Amino acid sequence: VQLQASGGGLVQAGGSLRLSCAASGRTDSSGVMAWFRQAPGKEREFVAAIRRSDNNKFYESSVKGRFTISRDNARNTMYLQMNGLEPEDTAVYYCAVSRKPHLISSRIRDSNEYDHWGQGTLVTVSS
């Protein structure tokens, strides 16, 4: 599976962006699709995920209520709608795919469970 992330940019605090992640290749093996982010000087952290088997969605607590993850299976594309952006959201955002179709909830936030990664797209939120 190859992943291409796009949609990052510079936005003022309170603004919105929509990230896209286009998948190609063996997309039928995509059990879970997720977004992670890495801020300067920090470790990569989980943002949101969507599980194909039951369409359940998972969010990191600081983005819940502001970010919405979705996927369009016909277009093999995942989205992250980000509203109410804050300077703390500034990071490189990566999309990722796990081949595990029934990845349990307690492991969905673990980046080691993901097999394929996109190149990242930079989101900068100014105050």
pLDDT in the model for residue 84: 98
Q: What is the Cα–Cα distance from 58 to 8, expressed in whole angstroms?
A: 21
Q: What is the Cα–Cα distance from 118 to 30, expressed in whole angstroms?
A: 14
Please give the helix or strand (H or E) that residue 102 lies within, else none. none
Over residues 6-48, the pLDDT tens digits come to: 999 999 999 999 999 999 887 766 789 999 999 999 999 999 9
Q: What is the Cα–Cα distance from 2 to 23, expressed in whole angstroms?
A: 6
Whether residue 68 has pLDDT greater than 80: yes
Whether residue 92 has pLDDT greater than 90: yes
Name the average pLDDT for the chain: 94
- Mean pLDDT (whole number) for 50-68: 95
What's the pLDDT band for 111 if we cut at 50, 70, 90?
Answer: very high
Evaluate whether 106 touches 16 at the Cβ level (below 8 Å): no
- Mean pLDDT (whole number) for 108-116: 96
At a CB cut-off of 8 Å and minimum separation 6, what does 53 contact?
A: 31, 101, 102
Ordered DSSP codes for 29-70: G--EEEEEEE-TTS--EEEEEEETTT--EEE-TTTBTTEEEE
- Mean pLDDT (whole number) for 80-91: 98
pLDDT in the model for residue 27: 72
